[in-house]
């Protein structure tokens, strides 16, 4: 929501930038298909002069079974 991002911007302005970790969870079973999101994230961060490290647990197109 906008309120969340506004508070985040205020906090960063007050305390400064820091390294954070985000995780994406998918309900299984699924076929791993993160390419579009990862491409967007890399392109956006490059335009903004930011660095992102992405650790994939499953390659694009691989089956991620249940349990």
Q: Write the DSSP symbol of residue 8.
A: H
**Distance spanning both ends of the chain, measured CA to CA:** 32
What is the model's pLDDT at position 9?
Answer: 84
Q: What pLDDT, in 10s, does the model give residues 3-49?
A: 888 888 888 899 988 888 888 888 889 999 999 999 999 999 999 99
């Amino acid at each position: 929501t906008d309120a969340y991002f506004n508070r985040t911007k205020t906090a960063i302005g007050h305390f400064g930038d820091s390294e954070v970790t985000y995780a994406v969870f998918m309900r299984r079973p699924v076929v791993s298909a993160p390419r579009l999101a990862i491409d967007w994230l890399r392109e956006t961060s490059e335009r903004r002069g930011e660095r992102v490290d992405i650790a994939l647990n499953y390659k694009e197109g691989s089956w991620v079974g249940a349990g």
